[in-house]
Amino acid sequence: MSLVTKKPYLIIVMGVSGTGKSTIAQQIANALNYTMMEADDFHSLSAREKMAQSLPLNDQDREPWINAMLGYLKQQAHGGQDVVLAYSGLRKTHREQFRQLPYQCHYLYLAGDKGVLAERLRARQGHFFGHDLLQSQFEAFDIPQADEKDVTIVDVEQSVTGVVEQIMKNIDGKIRNNS
């Protein structure tokens, strides 16, 4: 008799800055009792300094950051740990790399109006990513297309509670259907 082992879940909460990725991801992780992972924690000091100077990252800057997250997630997957990741997910090629991990992967694309997000970033205190970099993220973002069937679009121009409730209904159905 062979044992069938279920892959752990990786829920990626993605979008440009100001969409509330970290706040929303933390609430989802708490509700599901998953490990919360913050992509910003994996940026190199030089990348943080570059962004603090209002210089956007390019794909070369992002490569070590992506690789660090992928390595950490592989370790978590081998331990069977379910994870919620707060991560911009700007580039489709990077999203594909996460899909290759030993997880059942689902993306939650937090979408909002650029003006609303810029106001949120102006109000944010103590973060290395300034509101003046928002345009560069919109320009770099590969909007999910129909071939990315594991992406759910979530409108973030509602309360955080409303966003989380909408997401939890969506996630609950996906987890129950994949169990």
Tens of pLDDT, residue by residue over 64-118, are: 999 999 999 999 999 999 999 999 888 899 999 999 999 999 999 998 888 778 7
Note whether 45 and 23 are within 8 A (CB).
no
Cβ neighbours of 176 (radius 10 Å): 8
Mean pLDDT of the chain: 85
pLDDT given at position 178:
46
Residue corresponding to tokens 């599901």: 32
Range list of H helices, 38-133: 45-52, 59-78, 92-99, 114-123
C-alpha span between 67 and 133 (Å, rounded): 23
Tell me the percentage of the chain whose pLDDT exceeds 70.
87
pLDDT given at position 6:
80
Q: Rounded to an integer, what is the distance from CA 84 to the centroid of its chain?
A: 8
One-letter identity of residue 56:
P
C-alpha span between 101 and 105 (Å, rounded): 8
Cβ neighbours of 97 (radius 10 Å): 14
Residue 125 has pLDDT above 70, yes or no: no
pLDDT given at position 170:
79
1.10.3080.10, 3.40.50.300, 3.40.47.10, 2.40.50.100: which CATH number matches 9-178?
A: 3.40.50.300
Look at the alpha carbons of 51, 59, 97, 171 in this order and tell me if their dihedral is positive or negative. positive
Mean pLDDT of 135-157: 86
C-alpha span between 139 and 9 (Å, rounded): 30
Residue 176 has pLDDT above 50, yes or no: no
pLDDT given at position 119:
79
